[in-house]
Structure 1
Amino acid sequence: MRKLFAVGLVLMLSGCGGGYDSLPPQVIDGNGGTIGAGGTFPTDKGNWKYGSVSNSDGVFSLSARIDAINTYTVPQFPNLNQRSWIELEKRKMAVGTISKRFLIFAPEEVKCTPSCQIRIKFNGGISSYGFLQRVDGVLTPASDELSAELFDKTTQSNSATVYLPIVGLSDEVESEFNLRGYDEDKMKFTGEQ
């Protein structure tokens, strides 16, 4: 029965791609941690999870994920709680530059079709930012410049609160993040200053 469950889970997850279906397999880093497509390696600092993706030319993508410290109730299922998370990504571009990407994942649909203003409080200062929701619950900054700005604010702050207008809830969900312990070294490419 467990084998059938495991096979079913693998088949179910293989249908969820997001464009990562053709990434190379996982590899082992120099410290014995697993890295690669979808892989993470543990950290002793905070609750950040780090990963990287590489090809024959080396590592081309670095990621860091932080989960909210609180949950919210799912509108359709009052006995179920969900937790949002923030994901940061640095990617080597073909022109020799490095892009910075900031994403908010809310496991439920957000009132953001196709765009909206999302309030985020960094270290006590609150501002509104333009976001797009192309896939339910995945919020992307409206521009590359804004994405890089939010990446930097996240890595330079101790805390953040993201105010999410979840579909089916009358009040915004305050997803709180403890950003302490971000390890900048794990998010640097070899040779990057």
Structure 2
Amino acid sequence: MKRLVALGVILALSGCGGGYDSLPPQVSNGNGGTVGAGGSFPTKEDGKWKYGDVSNESGVFSLSARIDATNTYTVPKYPNLKQRSWIDLEKRKMAAGTISKRFTIFAPEQVKCTPTCDIRIKFNSQIATYKFEQRVEGVLTPINDQVSSELFDKTTQSNSATVYLPIVGLSDDVESEFNLRGYNKGKMTFESL
């Protein structure tokens, strides 16, 4: 009799699904955590910035910082392949004694941008549209130096960004999310080298 009661309880519990049927789906954000419906970044951890420099006989003349998107997207031609976009920032010493700031988006897939297009970017909670050009497939640069410098500054001063990429073969823009926390200004300053 006890076995029948225990078996009945097990069957009753397994039939109700454990009560999790009404929870929102969990989606991996590529950052080791999950994001529920409506979320963005699960923790306040720093983004995974990568830094580099280029020098010649006169010293360092170029500094770079790269941040990869925290999420991936499916490639239209190959459904089993996932791609990840990234942002590259560069500071370069110019001949006139000034320093240029460059902002570049790398999309590993073909983008609907021939030769120019509008790309929406959301920094923290503010969204704006910027004109980009694509001289090389998948490499998007702002239309002029002023916009490039503005995007460089917004990237280094924000906690998060979402870039809406118009990938060829997809009807909706791909939302590439970036955790911009932890940018090291010292590694992008010429005087510190």
Structure whose alpha-carbon radius of gyration is higher? 2
* C-alpha distance in structure 2 between counterparts of 1:142 and 1:47, whole Å: 27
Looking at structure 2, the residues matched to 191 and 51 of structure 1 have their Cα atoms a distance apart, in angstroms, of 13
- Counterpart Cα distance in 1 of 2:74 and 2:187: 33
The aligned residue for residue 54 of structure 2 is 53
Which amino acid is 2:126 matched to?
A: G
Partner in structure 1 of residue 136 of structure 2: 135
Distance (Å, rounded) in 2 between the aligned partners of 1:109 and 1:134: 12
What value does the CA root-mean-square deviation take over the aligned residues?
A: 1.4
TM-score by length of 2: 0.75
Gaps in structure 1 of 5+ consecutive residues: 1-44
Q: Which residue of 1 aligns with 2:175?
A: 174
Q: Deviations over 1:122-171 (max 9, x none)?
A: 00110000000011100000000000000000000000000000001111
Runs of 4 or more consecutive aligned structure 1 residues displaced over 2 Å after TM superposition? none
Aligned residues: 149
Equivalent position of 1:186 in the other structure: 187
Distance 1:46 1:118 in 2: 22
Give the structure 2 partner of residue 115 of structure 1.
116
Partner secondary structure for residue 190 of structure 1 = helix
Identical aligned pairs, as a percentage?
76
Residue aligning to 2:101: 100
Provide the C-alpha distance between the structure 2 equivalents of 1:135 and 1:176, rounded to a whole number of angstroms: 23
Alpha-carbon distance, 1:46 to partner: 3.2
Q: 2: CA distance between counterparts of 1:151 and 1:191?
A: 19
Unaligned runs of 5+ in 2: 1-45
Q: Which has the higher helix share?
A: 2
User: 2:115 and 2:168 mapped to 1: Cα distance?
Assistant: 14
